[in-house]
């Protein structure tokens, strides 16, 4: 299940995102938890166990039952929203433009790529309905700021911002899920690929003849960095190459009106 953002009461969600919890002097037992603590626990659990994290797991990590969380947070969806936005706080929001927009965008993209690698579950949070939280805003604002310095009009930049976002996300997703495929250890990785490929070639021996272009793409390789596992090499190379082409396109748009 992709987690859709903000199914619940929009007011409550947005207040939580932008205001945090307002604590006054109220009757009743002192709260033993806080929204912040719950969000942090949620992030920790998700980082460890992926999106299979559950309210039970988050509660357990805090020494409570799952239901205790519902005192602070309307439901799982809203918690995910908060986790999503909170995590984004760790991204830089100020890139120097001294060398122009291109190095800045490149750095932004690489940071984003690494961010997704650190928090794979973020990629599962629905994208289209933006969470509309402050940190997500800040991160996108920064990309916009960098790109505005190209001089291109906003109406053209919107597609570009989207393209860069989609690209980084997609590329990150590829590597992240490929890693996950290997299992918890991250080691059985190549074996998994190998098992699949072997069976595939056994069943379809003439695969390379049936799909000659894919074969061509697969086999025309640059020398790889032997210190990295195969998949990381592959993904990083493709990421750099794709980003380069994308930014070349932007450059073209900047050059001619």
What, of DNA, a second copy, none, does residue 236 touch, CB below 5 to 8 Å by kind?
none
Choose which of 44, 161, 188, 224 interacts with a second copy (CB under 8 A).
161
User: How far is the C-alpha of 66 from the C-alpha of 38, rounded, in Å?
Assistant: 11
Q: Give whichever of 68 and 138 is closer to a second copy, judged by the CB atom.
A: 138
Q: How far is CA 132 from CA 88, 129, 147, in A?
A: 12, 8, 21
Residue 83 interacts with a second copy (CB under 8 A)? Answer: no
Rg, C-alpha atoms of the chain: 22
**4: three-class secondary structure by DSSP:** coil
Binding to DNA in span 62-121, by CB under 7 A: 63-68, 70-72, 75-77
| Residue owning tokens 């996950």 | 180
Calculate ∠ Cα 189-163-243, nearest 5°: 55
Q: Which stretch binds DNA (CB under 7 A): 47-55, 86-94, 136-144, 205-213?
A: 47-55
Choose which of 34, 106, 165, 233 interacts with a second copy (CB under 8 A).
165
Q: In the stretch 34-63, what mask flags binding to a second copy with x, by CB under 8 A?
A: -----------------xx-----------
Residue 3 interacts with DNA (CB under 7 A)? Answer: no
């Amino acid at each position: 299940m992709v987690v859709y953002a903000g199914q619940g009461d929009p007011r409550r969600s947005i207040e939580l995102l932008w205001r945090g919890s307002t604590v006054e002097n109220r009757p009743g037992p002192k709260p033993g938890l806080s929204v912040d603590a719950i969000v942090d626990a949620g992030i920790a659990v998700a980082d460890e166990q992926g999106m299979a994290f559950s309210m039970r797991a988050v509660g357990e990590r805090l020494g409570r039952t799952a239901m205790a969380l519902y005192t602070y947070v309307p439901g799982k969806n809203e918690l995910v929203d908060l986790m999503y936005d909170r995590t984004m706080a760790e991204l830089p929001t100020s890139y120097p433009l001294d060398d122009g927009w291109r190095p800045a965008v490149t750095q932004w993209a690489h940071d984003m790529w690494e961010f997704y690698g650190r928090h794979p579950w973020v990629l599962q949070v629905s994208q289209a309905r933006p969470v509309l939280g402050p940190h997500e805003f800040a991160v996108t604002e920064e990309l916009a700021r960098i790109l505005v310095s190209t001089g291109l009009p906003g109406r053209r930049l919107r597609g570009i911002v989207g393209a860069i976002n989609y690209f980084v996300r997609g590329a990150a997703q590829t590597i992240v899920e490929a890693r996950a495929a290997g299992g918890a250890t991250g080691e059985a990785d190549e074996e998994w690929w190998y098992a699949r490929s072997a069976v595939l070639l056994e069943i379809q021996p003439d695969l390379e003849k049936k799909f000659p272009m894919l074969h061509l793409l697969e086999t025309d390789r640059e020398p790889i960095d032997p210190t990295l596992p195969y998949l990381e090499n592959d993904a990083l190379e493709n990421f750099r190459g794709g980003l380069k082409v994308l930014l070349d396109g932007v450059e073209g748009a900047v050059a001619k009106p």
